[in-house]
Amino acid sequence: MSTHPRAESLMVREKLVKAFEEGVVTTAGLIAHGRGECFDYIIGEKTRSFAFKAEKTAVAALLLADHPVISLNGNATALAVKEFIELARLVNAKIEVNLFYKSFRRIKTIARTLEENGWTEVYGVNKNVCATIPEISSLRCEVDSRGLYIADTVLLSIEDGDRTIVFRKMGKNVIAIDLNPFSRTSLWASITIVDNIIRAVPNMVSIAKTLRSEDKPRLKEILEDYSNTETLKEAVSLINSRLGLFALKGTFDLNVLENDGEKAYLNGR
Amino acid sequence: MSTHPRAESLMVREKLVKAFEEGVVTTAGLIAHGRGECFDYIIGEKTRSFAFKAEKTAVAALLLADHPVISLNGNATALAVKEFIELARLVNAKIEVNLFYKSFRRIKTIARTLEENGWTEVYGVNKNVCATIPEISSLRCEVDSRGLYIADTVLLSIEDGDRTIVFRKMGKNVIAIDLNPFSRTSLWASITIVDNIIRAVPNMVSIAKTLRSEDKPRLKEILEDYSNTETLKEAVSLINSRLGLFALKGTFDLNVLENDGEKAYLNGR
């Protein structure tokens, strides 16, 4: 398998299939992962500058928040549970399990995965502290009254658009990790990280280690310097520039063209 | 669910998940489907002119072949079993089950699906007529000695690149249905149909109904008029043109931009 041109991508895929067998990931989650793979392939499977900037801004937003909550679903747990926990500790956020394909069994399985990795206070599990957000039409409307309900800043990933829109209309800041810059989540989020979750969360952990010692005015500066429309435009421009170059050269070998693609992208800015 | 902007795509997805539960589709097949969804989304979820031309050429190639074989895997069966059978009848092709994630149980399940839809002579099931193609490193090397082994023209879809390359090196014509114009399968195939299987196969059925009454010189003309490099370039140009327009306008609503995108694409040719 190591000779396969997409070996790393296949290893990540195996991780997800294992999580599927454990009941953490759903069939829909597997399909969603494939969609993400495709976008990652197009952006070149690396963290681009616009994504890194969004990651830095996201960490600043989490550090400035009064009630930051990391919302985990099956795929996010499968791909980066350790890193999400480390990030939550660094920015002092809660972790809540909130699922589109919701079952109490799945919630418990994901909560157990978190516990096995050292995070015990999992929100979204205890029915006694359940609040409802009626604007959300799926079972995702049931949230933790100590968590997503009162959150001012929410970090989510690989998301359906509906919930993102409702959260935004409620006035919450939404940070979304989403490889598809055209998704409704990407368009509605306050900060969209167009990057693979397996790179984005470790990056955010590193950034948080530095930024947590900065003072509030400096963190606010980072936020003010950020435009999400600009991020999305840059993401689409990169995709466009890469595809344009492939079309022009009449060859489609991503590795061969990577350097040129990079140059064209940087020159075009 | 009908209010969801991607309602049709979700219905197809449900079909696939059902097939997964029946043992026809694998976890890897679900992920591969998601990757295809992404490309379909970018090309605009319709059959483009270059794809239609490839479909027409493919039908001509099947009609001209001495031993045409349709190679079915789990996803292809789940998404278009009826249409593949109709096409096989129209072009007088064999149908062979050939799987990457191979198990005798899965082969039997897929064969049963074909039988339930009226196709009884399924190749790739009977171990007494099994031949080996040693160049194929996966279990896909085991083929039917009456089918893929002697085939001069093979129609396949949603494929790993390795087998396509080996088939081509063996001198077989390969027709590939693949939404990713950058895949190794797309690059190596003789005729690449960059279209969703749920549109491509019904189109090919309609085309076959017309072309089967044409004489051989006319069919050969169609083949001679076709360039696969051109098809791939056009596919990438379309993607590029659509994404470029989205980036330019600073809005990413695919539906709103569809008409303009179409115009830009056509003007640019």
Residues 204-243 (B) with a CB less than 8 A from some CB of A: 229, 232-233, 236-237, 239-240, 243
ipTM above 0.85? no
What DSSP designation does A140 have? G
Report the SS3 class of residue A108. Answer: helix
Share of chain B above pLDDT 90, in %: 59
CB A91 within 8 A of CB A70: no
Q: Of B186, B198, B134, B132, give the one whose Cα is nearest residue B159.
A: B186
* Predicted pLDDT of residue B267: 43
* Predicted pLDDT of residue B253: 52
The average confidence (pLDDT) of chain B is 87
Angle at which helices B74-91 and B197-211 pack, to 10 degrees? 10
* Any domain includes B169: yes
A–B CB contacts, 8 A cutoff, strictly below? 101
* Any domain includes A130: yes
Q: State pLDDT tens for residues B200-228.
A: 999 999 999 999 999 999 999 999 999 99
Kind and range of the H or E run holding B245: helix B228-249
Domain residue limits at B154: 49-230
Q: Tell me whether B187 touches chain A (CB under 8 Å).
A: yes
User: Cβ B13–A28 below 8 Å, yes or no?
Assistant: yes
* Any domain includes A16: no
* Any domain includes B161: yes
* Any domain includes B226: yes
The model's confidence at residue B266, banded by pLDDT at 50, 70 and 90, is: very low
CA–CA min distance A253, chain B (Å): 8
* Predicted pLDDT of residue B8: 76
CATH number at residue B150: 3.40.50.12640
* Any domain includes A217: yes
Averages of pLDDT over each 10 residues, chain A, 269 residues: 60 89 91 88 91 98 98 95 98 94 89 96 90 84 91 89 90 95 90 97 98 97 96 89 68 49 42
Kind and range of the H or E run holding B109: helix B104-116
Closest residue, chain A, to B185 (C-alpha): A252
* Predicted pLDDT of residue B174: 96
Closest residue, chain B, to A40 (C-alpha): B35
> A158 contacts in B (CB within 8 Å)?
none
> B37 contacts in A (CB within 8 Å)?
31, 34-35, 38
Question: How many C-beta atoms surround the C-beta of residue A150 within 10 A?
Answer: 15
pTM for the predicted model, two decimal places: 0.81
Q: What domain count does chain B have?
A: 1
User: Cβ A28–B17 below 8 Å, yes or no?
Assistant: yes
> A187 contacts in B (CB within 8 Å)?
252
User: What span, in angstroms and rounded, lies between the C-alpha atoms of B60 and B91?
Assistant: 9
* Any domain includes A134: yes
> B246 contacts in A (CB within 8 Å)?
182, 236
* Predicted pLDDT of residue B220: 98
Q: State pLDDT tens for residues B128-154.
A: 888 888 888 888 888 999 999 999 999
Q: State pLDDT tens for residues B18-72.
A: 999 999 999 988 988 988 888 898 888 899 999 999 999 999 999 999 999 999 9
* Predicted pLDDT of residue A219: 98
* Any domain includes B3: no
User: What span, in angstroms and rounded, lies between the C-alpha atoms of B223 and B211?
Assistant: 12
pLDDT over 80 (residue B167): yes
The model's confidence at residue B5, banded by pLDDT at 50, 70 and 90, is: low
Kind and range of the H or E run holding A78: helix A74-91
CB A97 within 8 A of CB A23: no
Please return the burial class of B6, using the count of CB atoms within 10 Å of its CB with bins 0-12, 13-18 and 19+: middle
Q: Which of B27, B36, B243 sits opposite A17 (nearest CB)?
A: B27
User: Cβ A243–B236 below 8 Å, yes or no?
Assistant: yes
